[in-house]
Amino acid sequence: MPQNFLVCDREQSFLLPPDVREWLPEEHLAWFVIDAVGVMDLSRFYAAYRQDGHGRAAYEPSVMIALLLYCWSRGMRSSRAIERACVEDVACRVIAAHQQPDHATVARFVERHERALADLFGEVLALCADAGLATVGVIAIDGTKVAANANRDRTMNYEQLAETIVGEQIATDAAEDELHGHAHGDELPPELARSNGRQAWLREAKRRLDERRAEEAKPIPRSRSQRLKDAKRRLDEEQWTEQRANEAYEAYRARGVGRTGRRFSPAATPKPYMPSATPAGKVNITDLDSRLVKGMRGWVQGYNAQAACNEQHLILAAEVMTASPDFGHLGPMVAATHAALTAAGVTERPAVVVADAGYWHLEQMNEITGQGVPVLIPPDSSRRKNKPTRPGWNGGAYDFMRQVLDTERGGKLYKQRAQLIEPIFGHTKHNRGFTRFARRGRSAARTEWRLIATTHNLLKLHQHFTATA
């Protein structure tokens, strides 16, 4: 008896039109993403298109959103990888209904709907809240450093920017002199110097333009010289802001009373700020918004990605900051969490907010506790616990917080911080491979970070329904 194998006949065509519903099991993530997108509010996406139907037909926004969410959930964030998946991956073929948008279409969709894609985080959070996952017991807040799509060596100060711009201008002038000599460089060629030659060329140009009129204009990337000029302009704006602050201070001294009613005391006059002749600071010309931030393995050119999560490991808020330390980010993250939960229909306040020592900001902590939300933050980091404290780091709120954390309940609550937020960062970076932003600028980085958080919550919601099925 011969061996028994299933026949593999690649020349056999479909006897009937294929039904895509038979290509994937009902509990597959692709069907869940399609159904989830179907109940989301996508009015902001549709509002970006013409209402009269003129122009070239665009891909359905709901299809593109479902394709992006599924691919990002599976770790495919490259537009070219998504283009290949629409041909090779069965789930992507089902989502796209056998359509194959190219990588340029995917990238332009992300760029065009940047803010609307970031707002999908709230839509998925509302679905999670309806499923009972958006609990507000212990809320953990922390940040992680994510590299930007930037070259660290292209960070320059004001003098370096000016020297580079002047050097490029000199090199351009030299190249034009070598090319044109004593001529201006804008003379008409001989064939266009006569009237009949110009008319013939214009007729041919009109024919070529008519052929390309239906094609979409591609965005022209900015040159390196333009990026240098933008960086120099930002430094000039920072100097102008400092000048305005100095003028406001001088006006306050002249009035003797500030806007808050505080009176000016000549005896306690601090030394006014004197701006330098050139703006201070440095700017990275490949990504103007990125900064040098200190990570676990040294300094990186990137951003400080902040997140807040609950006991279900659900991300409740996701924001991107440019400052390297976490100091000063406690209040904004708590406010962002409250706004996201309120929009999702959750009115309860968190039972307690926990964060590491880097978030110690007494004014923000007092403001949050004044709203009825307890905050647990150690005043000493692990490296400073067994060392003499700095002057002023004893007594008052510092000693009170140490006493609270030394109690059994306080220590148990704070111990959950690392158990809640750290696995999310580890899963995002190690398992999902998100270690660098693809696009440049804080707004684009924020969209990517919120898309990562959105797909994280979407996977949590899918696992929740799969486990209860």
HEC-encoded secondary structure of 109-129: HHHHCHHHHHHHHHHHHHHHH
Helices (H) and strands (E) in the chain, counts: 15, 8
Share of residues in the chain with pLDDT > 90 (%): 46
Going by pLDDT thresholds of 50, 70 and 90, the confidence category of residue 162 is: confident
More confident residue, 169 or 277: 169
| Average confidence score pLDDT of the chain | 83
440: number of Cβ within 10 Å: 18
More confident residue, 115 or 172: 115
pLDDT for res 240:
60
pLDDT for res 81:
95
CA distance 315 to 156: 36
**Collapsed DSSP state (helix, strand, coil) of residue 292:** strand
Question: Which residues neighbour 29 within 8 Å (Cβ) at sequence distance 6 or greater?
Answer: 70, 73, 74, 91, 459, 462
pLDDT for res 388:
55
Beta bridge partners of 298: 295
CA distance 366 to 377: 12
CA distance 33 to 457: 12
More confident residue, 442 or 388: 442
More confident residue, 280 or 303: 303
What's the pLDDT tens digit per position in 31-86?
Answer: 999 999 999 999 999 988 888 878 788 888 999 999 999 999 999 999 999 999 99
Residue 300 parent element (H or E): strand 298-309
Taking Cα atoms as reference points, which of 396, 319, 322, 324 lies closest to residue 365? 396
Alpha-carbon distance values, 26 to 62, 99, 235 (Å): 20, 21, 56
Contact of 140 with 417, CB cutoff 8 Å:
yes
Quick check: 145 pLDDT over 80? yes
CA distance 55 to 66: 24
Taking Cα atoms as reference points, which of 453, 446, 463, 132 lies closest to residue 311? 132
Going by pLDDT thresholds of 50, 70 and 90, the confidence category of residue 226 is: confident
Which amino acid is residue 226, in one-letter code?
Answer: Q
CA distance 325 to 66: 36
Taking Cα atoms as reference points, which of 143, 427, 145 lies closest to residue 306? 143
What's the pLDDT tens digit per position in 234-291?
Answer: 776 666 666 667 777 777 666 666 555 565 555 555 666 676 666 667 788 888 888 8
pLDDT for res 435:
92
Which amino acid is residue 293, in one-letter code?
Answer: V
CA distance 120 to 6: 45
Read off φ and ψ for residue 290, nearest 5 degrees: -75, 160
Say which range, 49-58, 91-100, 221-230, 338-347, has the weakest mean pLDDT: 221-230
Contact of 142 with 356, CB cutoff 8 Å:
yes
Quick check: 450 pLDDT over 90? yes
Quick check: 184 pLDDT over 80? no
Burial of 119 (0-12, 13-18, 19+ CB in 10 A): middle
More confident residue, 59 or 155: 59
Give the mean model confidence (pLDDT) for residues 406-423. 92
Give the mean model confidence (pLDDT) for residues 195-205. 75
Give the mean model confidence (pLDDT) for residues 176-181. 75
CA distance 333 to 423: 19
Taking Cα atoms as reference points, which of 161, 287, 324 lies closest to residue 236? 161
Quick check: 201 pLDDT over 60? yes
Q: Pull the structure tokens for residue 7.
A: 């026949």
- The C-alpha angle 54, 56, 62, rounded to 5 degrees, equals 95
CA distance 173 to 142: 51
What's the pLDDT tens digit per position in 379-409?
Answer: 876 555 555 555 556 667 888 888 898 899 9
Give the mean model confidence (pLDDT) for residues 351-378. 92
Helix axes 330-343, 362-370, angle to 10 degrees: 30
Question: Which residues neighbour 69 within 8 Å (Cβ) at sequence distance 6 or greater?
Answer: 33, 36, 37, 120, 451, 454, 455, 458
Quick check: 163 pLDDT over 80? no
Give the mean model confidence (pLDDT) for residues 83-102. 92
Radius of gyration of the chain (CA): 29
333: number of Cβ within 10 Å: 26
CA distance 197 to 204: 11
Residue 298 parent element (H or E): strand 298-309
Q: Tokens 């003797």 belong to which residue?
A: 256
pLDDT for res 389:
58
pLDDT for res 23:
85
pLDDT for res 1:
55
